[in-house]
Structure 1
Amino acid sequence: MKKTYVVLLLAVVALIAALGGGFAFLSYQFLSSRPSDVAQDVVYEVSPGKGFNSIAAELEQKGLIRNALFFTAYARIRGDRSKVKVGEYLLRTNMVPSEVLNTITSGKSIARSFTVSEGLSIYEISELYQKEGFGTAEDFMRWVRDPQFIKSLLGESQISLEGYLFPETYMLTKYTDTKTLITNMVRRFLYVYNEVISQAEVQGWTRHQVVTLASIIEKETGAPEERPTISSVFHNRLAKRMRLQTDPTVIYGKADLSGKIEINITRADLTTPTRYNTYVIYGLPPGPIANPGKEALLAAVKPATSSYLFFVSQNDGTHIFSEDYAGHNKAVQRFQLDRKAREGKSWRDLQNRKQVPTVPKK
């Protein structure tokens, strides 16, 4: 009887050893297996509330792992079942299970670029934000005008965050919300502004006044070398208590009333009162009219030394500067009223020229 018991015990041990060895072999085979030898990219999304079992099943269905049960067991052993993060992930069909699990627990979602160019207004940025599929223009405008949010970012109350959304390329995931993007844009502005203001400071000017002037400079010229001279014109006019009389403020004043940017303006628009129209009001408007880049900010606090009070477009993106109205009138006659001076010219010509600093013409 005793002998029979020993034999049975040995048989059970052998069976367990065999099963264990088989399981170990299968586990090793799974962990080293690749669903395919072909590296095909697959975008896989972990949405909020999705459980690990569902994730494993979907990964198997999409050909990203061979066995959902083994993958679930592997994640449990590693303690990673609860570490999967919401996001969009780029996986490949030739990944081993450890690479798949590492990716979906990394939190490093697929990022797409969102580029904001210098001189865009909040109206234009919100439309671009919606057009590129990151969110709605309405949500964007709601946040840039939220009083408490503005104060939390700037430490002061303002009409909106116009002027404080630094133009740059930002990397966004599908789950980057509007508030987070705007926060990053303002933080980037604050960093750059501190760099700029350390180089020069306009006596008695507030940050808001600097940003307001910089936004006007940004809208008035696309020629980098002209910014300091454009700035000098505005500084000179302010010192003489002359109206700035700049068209971009008229355009923005209309947008402030209508809720959208309209590029074309009429003679009647120049004399129609708005809180931004510098043909009507004296001094700076109540806030920025666009979001300036670093060079425009720098030009606002470091204007060129000049006696210029006027400038007029030469129809190619650059301007001619004058010290008095008589000189300005001649420039208008030459470049604006003469149709031949306008033929075949465009501000887009700036994109094709070499950026060589020039001395402003008198």
Structure 2
Amino acid sequence: MWRHIASNALTFFVILVFLVGGGVIWAQREYETAGPLSEAICLEVPRGSNMSRVSEDLAEQGAVTSATLLRLGADYSDKTQSLKAGSYLVPENASMAEIVDIVTRGGASTCGTEVIYRIGVNSAEVEVRELDPTTGRFEDVAEFDPAADEVPEEYTRVREASDTRYRVALAEGVTSWQVVEELRSVDVLEGEVEVPEEGSLAPNSYEVAPGDSRADLIDRMQRAQEVILSEAWANRAPDLPLTGPEEALVLASIVEKETGVAEERPQVASVFVNRLRRGMRLQTDPTVIYGITEGQGVLGRGIRQSELRQATPYNTYVIEGLPPTPIANPGRAAIEAALNPAETQYVFFVADGTGGHAFAETLDEHNENVARWRQIEAEQGEDTQAN
């Protein structure tokens, strides 16, 4: 009898092991298989939330088949305590394992509302936009000039939301004075800041959070520029007529201000490098303008002949070589072009009417290009008068 009982118990135990094992295999497969979402969604994880509330939210939105199974999977993979607040894009058919990875990975939020403070060469604007999870594209909600326009209600609304993300975007060629002036109007940042050295800020897009220090943001921009300049200097072309990274930054800033077409940077850089090698004056208008404005805003008019003749440290029609400092904050591409210019014999260039330039090796060629440009200017003037 006891032998029969023992045999039945052993059989029951074996069946139980198989059932549990099968259940684990099923649960693991369910946790890792494609989920039921037919369209991507934006999942908000509020500060102070937990995996239990997130899993219930996901179940309500039809993103997972079982809130319990998602919690168990997060526990089993030791990710429950790694939940990060933010707004996250959950793609269609995302598995539970993928969703848990998304909400615990950290880093910037991937969807929701975003405010971008754009600092441009000629203007600044604040852009409010939201990601449409079904298309993966940002849709503009509001745009305004903080110096001239009334603050729209859309901006006030998103400023009060806890999951709104913020970025400060610097355009290539802005001056340090412009950056500081515009940062003072960014109302999510705090603290005063002095105008840093010209050229020391890396144009880029920087994630910020309410309460961040303006000085800390400037420090991030400077560290980024130091890294870019150091890497470019280490990989520079041989025999450049530059004494060090500081002069490279000056040259890069001139290239940045002279370039309307990004692809032309290496050619524009080659003109200035060739002029430096031959002992020719650089004769570039942006340096003259910087000497007039000191980087504080846009000149807003043409350069006068008296200003072209005036001896200033930045008048490259008068001085030899490079000006004493950069004239703007150049981007990575301009820095790399200055340190790896195209191999040309160009020493002249002039606008060609398309936004780019016509390059020349000789003065005769240059004069022909100038004559064509003058003709284009005259024709454009006639068209303006006709309109």
Whether TM exceeds 0.5 here: the answer is yes
**Secondary structure in 2 matching 1:233:** helix
Amino acid at match of 1:289: A
Equivalent residues of 2:39, 2:92 under 8 A apart: yes
Counterparts of 1:166 and 1:294, CA distance in 2: 14
Q: What pairs up with 1:266-277 in 2 under 5 angstroms?
A: 266-267=303-304, 270=307, 276-277=314-315
- Corresponding residue number in structure 2 for 1:100: 99
Letter in 2 for 1:343: E
Change (3 A) 1:206 1:97: closer
Q: What is the CA distance between 1:111 and its match in structure 2?
A: 6.2
Q: Name the Cα RMSD after superposition.
A: 5.4
Q: Structure 1 residues 122-131 or 34-43, which shifts more?
A: 122-131
Match of 1:208 among 232, 238, 246: 246
User: CA shift at 1:286, angstroms?
Assistant: 1.8
Q: 2:199 aligns with which of 151, 162, 171?
A: 162
Instruction: Give the one of 379, 383, 386 matched to 1:343.
Output: 379
Instruction: Give the whole-Å Cα distance in 1 for the aligned partners of 2:65 and 2:28.
Output: 7
Report the Cα distance in structure 1 between the residues aligned to 2:103 and 2:70, rounded to whole angstroms.
Answer: 13
Which residue of structure 1 aligns with residue 160 of structure 2? Answer: none
How much has 1:284 moved relative to structure 2? 1.2
Letter in 2 for 1:135: R
Matching residue of 2:50: 51
Whether the 8 Å contact between 1:213 and 1:288 is mirrored in structure 2 is no
TM-superposition CA deviations, 1:70-104 (whole Å, max 9, x none): 43344234322112235543323533423322332
Shift in Å, 1:193: 2.6
What one-letter code is carried by the residue in structure 1 that aligns with 2:199? E
- Which residue in the other structure is 2:167 paired with? 135
Output the CA distance in 2 between the equivalents of 1:247 and 1:131: 36
> How far apart in 1 are the matches of 2:315 and 2:343?
23
Q: Show the 5 A alignment for 1:305-324.
A: 312-315=350-353, 317-319=356-358
The answer for the alignment partner of 1:298 in structure 2 is 340
Q: Equivalent residue for 1:32? A: 30
Q: Name the CA distance, whole Å, in 2 between partners of 1:106 and 1:273.
A: 58
Deviation, 1:261, is 4.0
Distance in 2, Cα, partners of 1:125 & 1:73: 55
Structure 1 position 344, deviation (Å) = 6.5
The residue identity in structure 2 corresponding to 1:245 is Q
Q: Which ranges in structure 2 are unaligned for 5 or more consecutive residues?
A: 1-11, 112-118, 130-164, 171-175, 184-194, 382-387
8 Å contact 1:322–1:328 — kept in the other structure?
yes
CA deviation map 1:231-285 (0-9, x unaligned): 322444xx46x5x432112344466453x44565342783588764545766414
The secondary structure found in structure 2 opposite 1:196 is: coil
| Residue 234 (structure 2) pairs with residue 194 (structure 1) | yes
- Please list the CA deviations of residues 34-88 of structure 1 after superposition, one character each: whole Å capped at 9, or x if unmatched: 7964532123244554333332233223222244344334423432211223554
Distance 2:166 2:292 in 1: 27
Structure 1 CA distance for aligned equivalents of residues 288 and 182 of structure 2: 21
SS state at 1:82 partner: helix
What number of residue pairs does the alignment pair up? Answer: 293
Letter in 2 for 1:72: R
Partner-residue secondary structure (3-state), 1:43: strand
Q: Does 1:245 align with 2:244?
A: no
CA drift at 1:320: 5.7
Change (3 A) 1:231 1:29: closer
| In structure 1, C-alpha distance between the alignment counterparts of 2:26 and 2:208, rounded to whole Å | 35
Q: Percent identity?
A: 19
Cα distance between partner residues in 2 of 1:278 and 1:85: 54
- Larger CA Rg, structure 1 vs 2: 1
1:284 aligns with 2:323: yes
Native 8 Å contact 1:42 1:90 kept in 2: yes
- 1:195 CA displacement: 0.6
Determine helix, strand or coil for the equivalent of 1:245: coil
TM-score of the pair, normalised by structure 2:
0.54
Q: Map Cα deviations across residues 195-225 of structure 1 (whole Å, 9 max, x no partner).
A: 115x33436x121112212321343355444
- Structure 1 residue runs of 5 or longer lacking an equivalent are 1-13, 113-121, 146-157, 346-362
> Contact 2:359 / 2:366 at 8 angstroms: preserved in 1?
no
Q: TM-score, normalised by structure 1?
A: 0.57
Higher RCO, Cα 8 Å, sep 6+: 1
More helix by share: 1
Distance 1:127 1:211 in 2: 24
